[in-house]
């Protein structure tokens, strides 16, 4: 009986890992040929090279997956869990669209507004994850920090272009 319970949790973990990776993969697929925009834009000195982004995002999506798994399996009030999952899905949807706005469409102003929305959604998600599971909230902190960095980077790119 114990192994059946573990198997169900392993399936849940795999699903929780696949969802953000698939969302990120879908987003990357749609902008795969559009990263040259990033290379030709005026960028601040602290802007990382384009090669850094897929590495960082893969790590962040894995952390998001593990964090969401902890929320699904945490012993917390159902309403708190539901709010955390809702915010997680909302921010993931916002996250998927940002590269399309920035890289594909080159809509720097709208992408900047969109990343403010993303940073707000990620902040709320982190807060609700902490309410349900402290380890889940901790796992989202690198994502939150990267989103804030991306917001500052977007502001500087917008200012310079």
- pLDDT tens for residues 3-35? 555 556 899 999 999 999 999 999 999 998 887
The pLDDT value recorded for residue 1 is: 47
Q: Which CA distances in Å does 23 have to 40, 114, 144? A: 26, 17, 17
The two three-digit tokens of residue 139, written as one number: 């796992």
Q: What's the DSSP call for residue 48? A: P
Give per-residue pLDDT as tens, 142-157: 999 999 999 999 999 9
**pLDDT tier at 101 (50, 70, 90 boundaries)?**
very high
Give per-residue pLDDT as tens, 127-145: 999 999 999 999 999 999 9
């Amino acid at each position: 009986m114990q192994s059946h319970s573990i198997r169900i949790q392993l399936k849940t973990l795999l699903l929780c890992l696949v969802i953000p990776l698939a969302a990120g993969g879908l987003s990357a697929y749609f902008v795969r040929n559009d990263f040259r925009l990033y290379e030709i834009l005026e960028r601040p000195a602290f802007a990382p090279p384009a090669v850094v982004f897929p590495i960082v995002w893969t790590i962040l999506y894995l952390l998001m997956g593990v964090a969401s798994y902890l929320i699904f399996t945490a012993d917390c009030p159902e309403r708190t869990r539901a709010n955390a999952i809702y915010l997680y899905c909302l921010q993931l949807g916002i996250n998927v669209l940002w590269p399309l706005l920035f890289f594909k469409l080159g809509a720097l102003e709208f992408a900047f507004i969109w990343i403010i929305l993303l940073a707000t959604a990620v902040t709320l998600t982190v807060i609700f994850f902490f309410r349900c599971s402290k380890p889940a909230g901790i796992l989202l902190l690198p994502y939150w920090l990267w989103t804030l960095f991306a917001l500052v980077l977007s502001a500087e790119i917008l200012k310079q272009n």
